[in-house]
Amino acid sequence: MSQSILTTRIMEALAAGRKALMPFLPGGFPDKERFFDELAALDAGGADIIEIGVPFSDPVADGPVVEQASLDCLLNGTCLSWLLYELEKRKGQYRAGIVLMGYYNPFLQYGLEQLAEDAANAGVSGFVVPDVPLEESGPLRAALDKHNLDLIPLVGLNTSEERLAAYAKDARGFVYFVSVLGTTGMRDSLPTEIKERLTAVRRLFHVPVALGFGIKSPEQLLAFGDLVDGVVFGSALIAHIKAGGTSAEFMLRWRS
């Protein structure tokens, strides 16, 4: 396989002397018409990778801000097939790598082989699937591999070194380190043991490391130095847009 687009985008950011910026936005948020305007603004504002959430009715890893936004998108008619169709129409318009983050049920119902083919045709570069453990990821990984799409591993504070090594064996794109034990959402502080676990992740993985869950400001990254290559932020962005702001304004905080 050729080098992952996602890895390339992160390495380009590091070469420019900064962390890779990886905003998360639910598909169809704040509404189906404006969503692609916000997506374009994130891309133009310096996003290196954009995670698009596939709305689902039972989002077990999502905190209240992301969960409510996703449920609103469902009520407004957002679905996986619509998202892929609209992305395909815009393929090639974004510099940022596109990742779909969602739960296994909609992907399985869509059909894994068809999902991988349609995602590749839509310009998607990878997937984050929080509710698929390593032991059950084989069919999805096999389907994605055929189209050079990355299945991004999620690891966290309670992931053992043995399990980290198992995830690292087939890791592509980047590894997503979950900074808290719990769901997504803004935190004023992060657990002190993160640095120790990130050190283990850095030692075992050959792909870049992104930190997510609980991140609301660039200052939170200062304590981690070179242990982190990229940062994922979602709840803070969603709250900013809900309060009347724009993605372009929000990205200025992270580029300054």
Residue 150 one-letter amino acid: D
Residues in contact with 33: Cβ distance below 8 Å, sequence separation at least 6, in sequence order: none
Active site residues: 51, 62
Q: What is the DSSP letter of 131?
A: T
Q: How many CB atoms lie within 10 A of CB 110?
A: 18
Q: How far is CA 202 from each of CA 14, 176, 210, rounded to the nearest angstrom?
A: 15, 12, 11
End-to-end CA distance of the chain: 36
